[in-house]
Amino acid sequence: MKSEAIRKVTEKVVKKHPKLAGKSPKVSMISAGSYLLQYTFSDDLPNGKSIAQTIRVVADEDGNISKMSSSRG
């Protein structure tokens, strides 16, 4: 996946999840022309603990997002 396409996807993701500003995704190919980008960050909870969150984005090689999901763990 080209760096320009990764930047385009990251801009869209950061608009929804501002805490990801400045983070780089882990990129892996799902199939020809389809890529999975994974962003991870930690959120602090009121009780002093933290929770890890992962944002998974499926996009094509031009940076067009087809699916976005998040999980906490």
**How do the domains of the chain map onto residue ranges?**
3-72
Determine the pLDDT at residue 9. Answer: 96
Residue 73 clears pLDDT 80, i.e. is over it: no
Measure the CA–CA gap between 29 and 35, rounded to whole angstroms.
4
**pLDDT tens for each residue of 35-66:** 999 999 998 889 989 999 999 999 999 999 99
**pLDDT tens for each residue of 7-34:** 999 999 999 999 999 999 999 999 999 9
Side chain identity at 62, as an amino acid letter? Answer: D
Determine the pLDDT at residue 30. Answer: 96
Joined together, the tokens standing for residue 43 give 């959120």
Measure the CA–CA gap between 38 and 12, rounded to whole angstroms.
14
**Number of neighbours of residue 45 by Cβ within 10 angstroms:** 9
pTM of the model: 0.87
